[in-house]
Structure formats: C-alpha cells, structure tokens
Amino acid sequence: MQPLRGRRLLLGITGGIAAYKAAELARLLVKDGAEVQVVMTRAAEAFIGTMTLQAITGRPVREALFDAQHEAAMGHIELARWAELVIVAPATADFLAHAAAGMAHDLLSTLCLATTAPLVVAPAMNQAMWRHAATQANVALLQSRGVSLLGPDEGAQACGDVGPGRMLEPVEIQRAVRARFADGRLSGRKVLLTAGPTREALDPVRFLGNRSSGKMGFALATALVAEGASVTLVAGPVSLPTPAGVERIDVESALQMREAVFTSVPGTAIFIACAAVADFRPAAAAEQKIKKTSETLALELIRNPDILSEVAALPQRPFCVGFAAETDDVEAYAQAKLRAKRLDMIAANRVGASRGFEVDDNALLVIWEGGQQSLPTQPKSRLAAQLVNLIVDRFDAQTAAENT
C-alpha cells in the first residue's frame, strides 16, 4: 500500500541539527510512493550531505537560486508549480522569520513565495528561541496566512536544554502528510476531544488545578486528523501549539469546558474525554486576593458537573471514550467508571512518581465491554495512534452491529 503514490512533494531542509532527520522523512515519503524533490539551504549543507538525499529520492538536490542549468526554464517557478505540497523540516527560527517577512533570499524562500501549494513547517530550534516573542509572532503570522504547523515537540535538545523546540519525529510528519491526501477510516466523521487541565478560581490570583500537560490529548488530535476526522479540540490552559487541521477552543474552568462541549457535540460521531477536569470548584471565588490573616483557611468546594457522563446520557449520543488516571487499582477503578458512566471505552493509566502527567511517554490499559488491551510504555504520539486504531475498530464494530 502506497498512500502517497504519485504525489509531488517538495521537501525543504534548513540549517539546524535536526536536518539529519530529513533523510528519514524523505525515505518514508518515497516508500509511500511520493515523488520527493529536496531543496536545501546553504546552511543545511553543513549538517547533511546532498548525496545522501539524492540517493534516497532519486532526484538531484536543488540548492541554488541562480542555477544556470535550471534557470533557462525559470527553474524556481517550475518547481513552485510542480509541488502539490511544500514541507519544510526542519524549519529554523531564521527560516520562519524570513517566511513571515515575505523575503525571497534563496531558492527555498523564493519557492515558498511563488508556490500556490499548501505550506507545512516543522519547527526545530533551541527552546529559548522557540519561546522568544519574535518567533511566536512570526509563527502566529504564518498560521494566519494558512501555513500549517507540525510541532514542535518537547524534550532534551542537542544543546543540553530541555523544553519545546524539537522537530517532530519523521513518522509523525509522514502521518500528517498522509492525512492531507488519503481518506482515512474516519473520513467525514466529526470527533470532539477534550485535553489538558482545568483551573478553578479561588481568587483573582490563585486557582485549584492539576498537573495535566495536555500532551496526550494533543497527540490524539494529530492521530485523529491522520485518520481523516474533522477534529474539534476543547483545550484547557496549556502551552501547546494547535495540531495541523484541528479546530481549537480554549477554555479555563470545568464549566467553560462543559459549555464548549455541549455547543460542539451536535453531529459528533466520537467524543473522547481526555481532559483532566476538576471534580470540585470553590463555592464562590473571592473578588479580592485572599490575605494570610490566619494559620488555616477553610474552603467550601462543590461538585463540578461530570461532562462525560452527561454526554454519554444524551438521547442521540456519540461513541464515548473516557480516561482514568489512577494512582492504584487502575483496572478496578477503570472498570467501575466504564460501567457507571455507560461508556463505550475507557483508557486507564497509572499516574504519580513521574508517570502519566508532564512526561513524554505513557502506557495505557484500554477496556471495553467484553475486552481489553494493554498498550506498552512509548512516546505519546505513537501511543495515540495505537489508541485511535482501537477506538476506530470498536466504533466500526458498534456501528455495524447497530445497522444490522
């Protein structure tokens, strides 16, 4: 099976240490049947040789804007018209700045201006460069013009820093490219997904919250898009970029999340409640900052609505998937939640002691009526793809049973 067979992809490589990953990305795209034309910047040549990429793609690597061999036929315009999709991976801070400014100082930036094909960028840079206001402004401007962002990921960096700025793994970029051309198993289906924590205000300064990073939910959004789904992501307060092809709604509190979910749920085929929603909220938030006037402070807390249970109880309900983050007796608690909330599936994991929250890897026990499957510890991006496969399998089986 070659899902990208005959597709014309232009792979731009800029000068960052992650350039070595571009060779693997090119290999995966060629394996999928795509015609891949590599365009490198001069800086990229300091990190990876052209011969490697030429051997993988079977095409000479293009690097010079003023190339006598190609410019007789206006080669840069020819390439801009040839491409069905332009992928820049890695995309450095310098490239993003030039692209946002509309500059055409080399072959790659000129192609990005001259092409009418969609542009996808996979940023890769030091975490401080990624967080810099100038980079964030450039990214926001590019996204407003329709440029799709893939990543960046978080983790250890070549410079020794830890944080956001790592280029997505080639297989994740491959998945996103496939989603643009292939009809997935969820093509034409609407999926509603919640992710991240909620914050319940104590006063204008403080809140009750939890340690959810949103990484699992955002990875699920990417995997769902790769299966062709139309994804609406209701996100609590997290500092993660919006996955390509996803409609995002930002909320803060559990009540705001509930409102967003019930506004979006009509027409939804699958609802995945991945968010860590606060079970309780203060009965009343103080209007002014609470002062330290005594040695103790009593808080009155009231129950938040159970969003997942309410959606599962709708007369015309979607296929409902819940999550259970537990510190002990994971399977027993998950089984109880599956039955009590009348869910179609639940994904459970153990949290605490550097597990589950605020980490890049996770493991899941997935349970449904009459079956279960363990998904071993692995990066959340891979785990999400496996979980989506299980969800679609069960959704298809249930849909087929209801139609017989």
> So what CATH class is 190-280+297-402?
alpha beta
Q: What is the gyration radius of the CA atoms in the chain, in angstroms?
A: 23
CATH superfamily of 8-181: Flavin prenyltransferase-like (3.40.50.1950)
Residues forming CATH 3.40.50.10300 domain(s) in the chain: 190-280+297-402
Summarised one tens digit per residue, pLDDT across range 139-149 is: 888 887 888 88
Is the per-residue pLDDT at 57 higher than 50?
Answer: yes
Cis check for the bond before 3: say yes or no (omega within 30 of 0). no
Q: Is 99 helix (H, G, I), strand (E, B) or coil?
A: helix
> In this predicted structure, which of 8-22, 136-150, 184-198 has the lowest mean pLDDT?
136-150
Using the 8-state DSSP alphabet, how is residue 74 labeled? T
Q: How far is 57 from 107, CA to CA, in rounded Å? A: 19
Which residue has 């293009």 as its token pair? Answer: 62
Report which of 361, 376, 378, 382 is spatially closest to residue 155, judged by C-alpha positions: 361
Span 312-319, average pLDDT: 95
Is the per-residue pLDDT at 184 higher than 90?
Answer: no
Span 372-380, average pLDDT: 88
Write down the mean pLDDT value for the chain: 87
**pLDDT given for residue 132 in this prediction:** 93
Residues forming CATH 3.40.50.1950 domain(s) in the chain: 8-181
Q: Choose the most confident range, by mean pLDDT, from 1-5, 173-177, 304-308.
A: 304-308
Residue 112: active-site member:
no
Model confidence, pTM: 0.62
Give the neighbor-by-neighbor strand order of the sheet with 190-195: 246-250, 230-235, 190-195, 270-273, 319-326, 345-350, 361-368, 371-379
